[in-house]
């Protein structure tokens, strides 16, 4: 292979060339930023040939292409990914070393691309990695937000948001494609002309493409992430400018750009904003046009579309792509409505990511009709056609004055999938019960996965090395090979190395936290970590209540034989989600008091790290002993953090929710700390009007912890600060924190006992690694290719 004959001096020259001619700097004056940009460009250059080859092969083979439409792609940093996937680590280290630069320092200069809120966006990023690794011809479509997810900091323990500005520095990974632009419309009227129905939008805007190559493992294949940016059709009004109205002259451009300005930071809360609907149509419609343009360049029979194109809707956010494709086929290309619908149905698939009723997208039909009048009519015709085929049907996409994007997606889609076995079953029993009865083969399950490149190989080099030394490096793109570790787990020397890796990862985290936050964590303690978006259903408040109760118990008996723990939290709360923000503040207040308590601080420390993002997750997960996956059963569709922790040798304390169920099945009951009610028990328990009070009456520890919230223990300067949390838990407690508390406490004491036997703990942790191979997103993508898309790998 060409790579092998390349010398580091060649790469060194390439690096210097970019530093000089791309950045315009010499090595004496270059800043870290300049080095990072030069390095990124030099690495990007090495991707391009693979990228062009893959594109050429895709055209030649004319196989089925997959289009993944997603409002969010939470990709994080890209430089290390690129270096590792191109197998260039040593070359890069050598070249940088030659100039007296350290690779880690340069890598750490890269901002995260945070174009997503949480699980759904990160899953999309893992999928891109797997699609390229597998060699499935695919393209991700999304929005090039100028401002990604807000930055989080704490002031007096409270979350403060500030804008994220990743594009203020040039982004070295993207290629602007000014020639790929589509003009899209909003509003206006529907007219009838020569027997045809046509939409005449009033407001026009352009979508411009920006492409990022996504290189797979060992550079064998590269797909594209195409993100759309809003541009004005008529950017500048010279007339107004000459008349002296400078602001109005540029107004068009400013308005057009707002469409791709911000990522909606609401996670699971229906925002109901006009701009959000515009964003959804903007990127869906641009993507559909791009897909058709590419198809048309190779085919002249539109009926072949379902054979050549599979479109995956990542949740309902791009659901308008269905009616838009239908509109083009019927209104613009003259197919009959029935034929057009059949083609659309053959291409579209929909993934559901949440059962939370407040997150199911619904739009007021007046707003919808004002922005997309023709689409509203088309949705009615979709409903009519569905009704004709199934006169007994009860649900429609448009009803009660609303457009229901879940129902619309289901009716239009060929396959609908859930993201874990439990979630898929619950979908069938709850939100899509009626539709499932009409279409019993439509719903399939594709349990989520995570990319082993980023979430083991790159983020945990120590463990990666140990695994490769033991079983070779085939596991990186065939993760189930981790099974081959099992015999080694009984080997004392091996397990000591395994323990050594975890200890070193913890030490690295201790140093990082000391440097960045000035807090000294005890590396000998168990690292107990809960990192995810803040939400009542995820129950960070259950975790902190247990910590409070535990602290109280240690205080009662400070000379007891306690198992030392460090509790680490990180996660962002939606700006308007006040309860979640109050939980953050509570955790910070508890941390302040507990960490200063001389009687207990050797046994319990609490810390909330600000600004959780992909990069912070990459630091935390390899250092975890215990993974907190404690959602109310039935509420977490899958979870993917749970998989990352298990894969990195943390044990889980968790409920039977989402993919926890499947993780436990695979790692074994003995290697998982289970607690809590099951999904159906949750539903039963909720019918009991006084479930919380009963639970509190039965558990004095819980009552005492709640009292500490009420008596101002954690906020002496403002004693009433947390009364409302205690009241909520006592009088309402929709997420059953109190009802699960006692069993959670029991599980946590079992965790303590297990941690006191380090050999046993290490064995359990290693079994988690060896048995988590199934949770690779490569396996998930193969499932989609086979069950949903009918797509094939183009790698020999």
Residues annotated as part of the active site? 353, 532-533, 538, 640, 644
Q: Which stretch binds ligand 26V (CB under 6 A): 11-19, 173-181, 260-268, 453-461?
A: 260-268
> In 297-420, which residue ranges form alpha helices assigned H by DSSP?
305-308, 321-327, 337-347, 365-371, 373-389, 405-412
Phi and psi of 160, rounded to 5°? -125, 135
Which of 106, 120, 292, 427 touches ligand 26V (CB under 6 A)? Answer: 120
Regarding 268 and contact with ligand 26V (CB under 6 A), the answer is yes
Regarding 638 and contact with ligand 26V (CB under 6 A), the answer is yes
Q: Are 573 and 534 in contact (CB under 8 A)?
A: yes
Which of 88, 92, 123, 329 touches ligand 26V (CB under 6 A)? Answer: 123
As measured in angstroms, the least distance from the Cβ of 620 to ligand 26V is 18
d(CA 9, CA 27): 16
Regarding 446 and contact with ligand 26V (CB under 6 A), the answer is no
Regarding 409 and contact with ligand 26V (CB under 6 A), the answer is no
Regarding 640 and contact with ligand 26V (CB under 6 A), the answer is yes
Task: For CA atoms 496, 498, 503, 507, give the dihedral sign.
Answer: positive
Regarding 404 and contact with ligand 26V (CB under 6 A), the answer is no
For residue 312, how many C-alpha atoms fall within 13 Å in the half-sphere facing its CB?
Answer: 29
- Please enumerate, as own/partner, the contacts of 34-37 that have beta carbons within 8 Å and a separation of 24 or more: 35/96, 35/99, 35/101, 35/106, 35/109, 36/79, 36/106, 36/107, 36/109, 36/110, 36/172, 37/170, 37/172
Regarding 267 and contact with ligand 26V (CB under 6 A), the answer is yes
* CA-angle at 622, arms to 618 and 626, nearest 5°: 120
d(CA 184, CA 229): 12
Regarding 426 and contact with ligand 26V (CB under 6 A), the answer is no
Regarding 622 and contact with ligand 26V (CB under 6 A), the answer is no
Structure-token match 């600060």, residue found: 721
- Sketch the per residue contact string, 644 through 673, with ligand 26V: x for CB under 6 A, - otherwise: --------------x---------------
d(CA 674, CA 671): 9
Which of 127, 264, 410, 494 touches ligand 26V (CB under 6 A)? Answer: 264
Q: Which stretch binds ligand 26V (CB under 6 A): 2-10, 43-51, 351-359, 726-734?
A: 351-359
Which of 639, 649, 654, 773 touches ligand 26V (CB under 6 A)? Answer: 639
Q: Which residues, other chains included, contact 315 with Cβ-Cβ below 8 Å and sequence gap of 6+?
A: 70, 71, 120, 350, 351, 352, 353, 354, 361
As measured in angstroms, the least distance from the Cβ of 677 to ligand 26V is 18
As measured in angstroms, the least distance from the Cβ of 332 to ligand 26V is 30
As measured in angstroms, the least distance from the Cβ of 365 to ligand 26V is 18
Regarding 117 and contact with ligand 26V (CB under 6 A), the answer is yes
Q: Which stretch binds ligand 26V (CB under 6 A): 85-93, 282-290, 352-360, 488-496?
A: 352-360
Phi and psi of 783, rounded to 5°? -60, -45
Could you give the 3-state DSSP secondary structure of residue 626? strand
Q: Are 311 and 413 in contact (CB under 8 A)?
A: no
Regarding 271 and contact with ligand 26V (CB under 6 A), the answer is yes
Q: Which residues, other chains included, contact 641 with Cβ-Cβ below 8 Å and sequence gap of 6+?
A: 119, 531, 532, 617, 621, 627, 629
Q: Which stretch binds ligand 26V (CB under 6 A): 12-20, 96-104, 112-120, 187-195?
A: 112-120
Q: What is the size of the binding site for ligand 26V (CB under 6 A)? A: 23
Q: Which stretch binds ligand 26V (CB under 6 A): 57-65, 331-339, 458-466, 637-645?
A: 637-645
Regarding 124 and contact with ligand 26V (CB under 6 A), the answer is no
Residue of minimal Cβ distance to ligand 26V: 119
For residue 105, how many C-alpha atoms fall within 13 Å in the half-sphere facing its CB?
Answer: 10
Q: Which stretch binds ligand 26V (CB under 6 A): 225-233, 251-259, 268-276, 517-525?
A: 268-276
Regarding 536 and contact with ligand 26V (CB under 6 A), the answer is no
Regarding 266 and contact with ligand 26V (CB under 6 A), the answer is yes
Regarding 419 and contact with ligand 26V (CB under 6 A), the answer is yes
As measured in angstroms, the least distance from the Cβ of 100 to ligand 26V is 43
Structure-token match 């007219």, residue found: 191
For residue 161, how many C-alpha atoms fall within 13 Å in the half-sphere facing its CB?
Answer: 16
Task: Report DSSP state, residue 237.
Answer: -
Regarding 118 and contact with ligand 26V (CB under 6 A), the answer is yes
Binding positions for ligand 26V, rule: CB under 6 A:
117-120, 123, 264, 266-268, 270-271, 315, 353-354, 359, 419, 448, 636-640, 658
């Amino acid at each position: 292979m060409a790579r092998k004959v390349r010398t580091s001096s060649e790469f060194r020259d390439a690096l210097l060339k970019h530093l000089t001619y791309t950045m315009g700097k010499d090595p004496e004056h270059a800043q870290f930023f300049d080095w990072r940009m030069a390095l990124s460009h030099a690495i990007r250059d090495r991707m391009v040939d693979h990228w062009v080859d893959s594109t050429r092969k895709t055209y030649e083979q004319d196989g089925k292409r997959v289009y993944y439409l997603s409002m969010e792609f939470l990709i994080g940093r890209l430089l290390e990914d690129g270096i590792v996937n191109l197998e260039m680590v040593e070359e890069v280290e050598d070249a940088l070393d030659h100039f007296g630069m350290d690779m880690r320092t340069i890598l750490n200069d890269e901002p995260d691309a945070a174009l997503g809120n949480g699980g759904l966006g990160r899953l999309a990023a893992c999928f891109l990695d797997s699609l390229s690794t597998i060699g499935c011809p695919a393209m991700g479509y999304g929005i090039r937000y100028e401002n990604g997810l807000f930055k989080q900091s704490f002031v007096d323990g409270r979350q403060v948001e500030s804008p994220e500005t990743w594009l203020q520095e040039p982004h070295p990974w993207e290629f602007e494609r000014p020639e790929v632009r589509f003009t899209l419309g909003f509003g206006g009227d529907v007219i009838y002309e020569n027997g045809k129905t046509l939409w005449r939008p009033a407001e026009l805007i352009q979508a411009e493409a920006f492409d990022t190559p996504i290189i797979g493992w060992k550079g064998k294949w590269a797909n594209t992430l195409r993100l759309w940016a809003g541009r004005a059709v008529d950017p500048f009004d010279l007339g107004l400018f000459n008349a002296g109205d400078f602001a109005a002259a540029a107004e068009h451009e400013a308005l057009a750009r707002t469409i791709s300005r911000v990522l909606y930071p609401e996670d699971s809360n229906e925002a109901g904003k006009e701009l959000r609907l515009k964003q959804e149509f903007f990127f869906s419609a641009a993507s559909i046009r791009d897909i058709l343009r590419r198809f048309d360049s190779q085919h002249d029979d539109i009926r072949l579309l379902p054979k050549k194109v599979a479109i995956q809707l990542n949740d309902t956010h791009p659901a308008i792509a269905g009616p838009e494709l239908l509109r083009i086929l019927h209104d613009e290309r003259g197919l009959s409505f029935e034929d057009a619908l059949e083609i659309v149905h053959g291409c579209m698939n929909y993934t559901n990511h949440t059962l939370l009723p407040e997150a199911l997208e619904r739009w007021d039909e007046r707003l919808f009709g004002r922005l997309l009048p023709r689409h509203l009519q088309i949705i009615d015709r979709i409903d009519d056609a569905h009704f004709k085929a199934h006169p007994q049907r009860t649900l429609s996409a448009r009803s009660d004055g609303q457009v229901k994007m879940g129902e619309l997606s289901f009716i239009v889609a060929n396959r609908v999938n859930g993201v874990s076995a439990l979630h898929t079953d619950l979908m069938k029993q709850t939100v899509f019960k009626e539709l499932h009865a009409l279409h019993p083969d439509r719903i399939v399950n594709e349990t989520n996965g995570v990319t082993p490149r980023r979430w083991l190989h790159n983020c945990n080099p120590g463990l990666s090395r140990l695994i490769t030394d033991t079983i070779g490096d085939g596991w990186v793109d065939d993760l189930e090979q981790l099974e081959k570790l099992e015999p080694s787990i009984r080997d004392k020397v091996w397990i000591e190395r395994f323990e050594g890796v975890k200890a070193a990862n913890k030490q690295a985290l201790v140093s990082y936290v000391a440097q960045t936050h000035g807090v000294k964590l005890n590396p000998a303690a168990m690292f107990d970590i809960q990192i995810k978006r803040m939400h009542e259903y995820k129950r960070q408040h259950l975790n902190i209540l247990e910590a409070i109760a535990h602290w109280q118990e240690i205080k009662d008996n400070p000379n007891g034989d306690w198992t030392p723990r460090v509790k680490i939290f990180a996660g962002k709360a939606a700006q308007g989600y006040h309860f979640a923000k109050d939980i953050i503040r509570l955790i910070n207040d508890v941390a302040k008091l507990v960490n200063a308590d001389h009687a207990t601080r050797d046994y319990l420390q609490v810390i909330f790290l600000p600004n959780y993002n992909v990069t912070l997750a990459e630091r935390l997960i390899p250092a975890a002993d215990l993974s907190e996956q404690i959602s109310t059963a039935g509420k977490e569709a899958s979870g993917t953090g749970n998989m990352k922790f298990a894969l990195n040798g943390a044990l889980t304390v968790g409920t039977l929710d989402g993919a926890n169920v499947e993780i436990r099945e695979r790692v074994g009951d003995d290697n998982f700390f289970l607690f809590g009610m099951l999904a159906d028990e949750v539903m039963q328990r909720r019918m009991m009007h006084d479930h919380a009070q009963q639970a509190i009456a039965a558990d004095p520890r819980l009552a005492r912890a709640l009292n500490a919230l009420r008596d101002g223990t954690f906020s002496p300067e403002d004693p009433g600060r947390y009364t409302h949390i205690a009241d909520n838990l006592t009088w309402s407690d929709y997420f059953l924190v109190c009802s699960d508390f006692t069993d959670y406490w029991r599980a946590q004491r079992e965790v303590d006992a297990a941690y006191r036997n380090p050999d046993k703990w290490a064995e359990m942790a290693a079994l988690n690694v060896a048995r988590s191979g199934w949770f690779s997103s490569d396996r998930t993508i193969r499932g989609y290719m086979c069950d949903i898309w009918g797509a094939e790998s183009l790698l020999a």
